[in-house]
Amino acid sequence: MPILKVTVKHAGKKYENIELDTDQPGLVFKTQLFTLTGVAPERQKIMVKGGMLKDDANMNELGIKDGQQLMMMGTAGELPKAPETKIQFVEDMTDAQIAQALKLPTGLVNMGNTCYMNATLQCMRAISELQIALGKLAPSIGGNQRENLAVSMRTLFEELERSGESVPPLVFLQLLRSVFPQFAEVDRGGYMQQDAEECWGQIVSALSEKVPGLTSQGDVDNSKRFVEQFMTGELISSMTCDEAPEEPPIESLESFNKLRVNIGSGVSTYMLTDVAKSLEEKIEKNSPTLNRTAMYTKKSKVSRLPTYLACNFVRFQWRADIRQKTKILKQVKFPHDLDATELCTPQLVEKLGPARRYLKEREEALAAERKAKKAKVDSGDTAQGDDPSTSDSKKVLSFQDEIEKMKEIGVDASLYNDVGANVSGQYELISVLTHIGRAADSGHYIGWVKHGDNQWWKFDDDKVSQVSSEDIDKLQGGGEWHTAYICLYRAKRIV
């Protein structure tokens, strides 16, 4: 049956022109009403033919007509509150805590071509500070749909932590489609597949408006926004006229939430090389010196690196001859450890020096400890000491601890006072969003999230499994296998 438009009356207020898809069960319609009224599905009583609407009701059998008015009863209740226990990183937990934490995590149910959203959410869950910031939001759904999207994201993340079974992201999905209608596109087969990179960008856009920033103590900083602090970098650009070198350059300061990886020529390429090339481009514009259109060269350098750096592989391109997007299958090698300093301005490179050198010396010392430990084992000495890679495992996440260490090793004050900035230019890969198939709006998306040395979780909707770093290396492209579309990097921690 076609999608109907109905009116729902609740608490003296009428909600008109609500779309009701009769091919979906009653629970989907209840979830729509939740986004409008704030009344949770389990608290709703909707009068229909034969009694109250049930979650598994076949809407085609209820005789609902286009334009019909339905009566709903029920009161809104608060959403679950944020967990009282403080979030810890895996590397900061005790052995007992790690053993508990390493139980198989929870997946997300595919609600019908929603793998693009599920993969995006699982990758974003790797941003630990985001969960802290989401916990500072209002406890329940309100009147602002963009804020409601952020609140429902927090609630969904909490449910994933608590639940032992796959979670259907109904409320978040309905709000996503309400705030960004392009994700509600339908065809004869139902809701259409969407582009995960577009979903990533729109979610970040909503979070950038509504999620508050954090202080160095982890408290709310309402003068800042979380995305601005932890997920946004800055570029200094200079544009010069190729045909009039005497024309003064045009300088500008721009922000970015992800770096584009414009895939280069050759059998295979390297991510960092392609990113660097994308920071130099040719632009055609009017020249005030020549009084005509001329060619300009725009060169950009990074002047601020965020704690979380997303790199988007431009895998899809428009083919005018066949009038559709096609996928670039070429292999692009991406590193597990990224040194982003070659993308930065000379001024920033100098400031990043102390922390960069400190991390290099620490990693060399850890490597030497591991080598010595292995030599002891090979010689028959079975005495076990602390694993050097986890010697700081009892430390709890603290921004202030990091700042004290930064001061000790000589990090520039402008960096450690900039909460959310990367102070070393060094990153580690923490999640990968992949696509398999030939087109962005078809195929299948999966999220891959790191959870320990050489250990990753593969989130294929509700199917979750453990894989190794070697499996992540196979996501570089070059064939029909799952191919990296977005890589998310986290700044290496000083403590």
Q: What count of Cα atoms within 13 Å lies in the side-chain half-sphere of residue 150?
A: 27
What is the helix, strand, coil percentage profile of the chain, to 5? 35, 30, 35
Query: Tell me, what DSSP letter sits at residue 184?
Result: G
Q: Are the CB atoms for 169 and 118 separated by under 8 Å?
A: yes
Q: How far is CA 443 from CA 434, 461, 479, in A?
A: 11, 14, 14
115 is catalytic: yes
E strand or H helix that includes residue 373 = helix 346-378
Q: Are the CB atoms for 156 and 171 separated by under 8 Å?
A: yes
Paired with 436 in beta bridges are 444
Among the options 10, 115, 199, 482, which is catalytic?
A: 115
How, if at all, do strands 337-339 and 426-436 pair?
A: antiparallel
**Residue 272: other Cβ atoms inside 10 A:** 19
Q: What's CA 171's distance to the chain center, in Å? A: 18
Sign of CA dihedral 154, 160, 163, 167: positive
Q: Are the CB atoms for 420 and 399 separated by under 8 Å?
A: no
Whole-number Å distance between alpha carbons of 478 and 149? 36
Place of tokens 């409320």: 171
Whole-number Å distance between alpha carbons of 473 and 471? 5
- At 110, list the tokens: 């595919």
Paired with 236 in beta bridges are 253, 301
Angle at which helix 145-162 crosses helix 196-210, to 10 degrees, equals 110
Q: How large is the C-alpha radius of gyration of the chain?
A: 25
444 is catalytic: yes
Which of 160, 294, 280, 231 minimizes the C-alpha distance to 430?
231
Whole-number Å distance between alpha carbons of 487 and 246? 41
Three-class DSSP category at 79: coil
Residues designated as active site: 115, 444
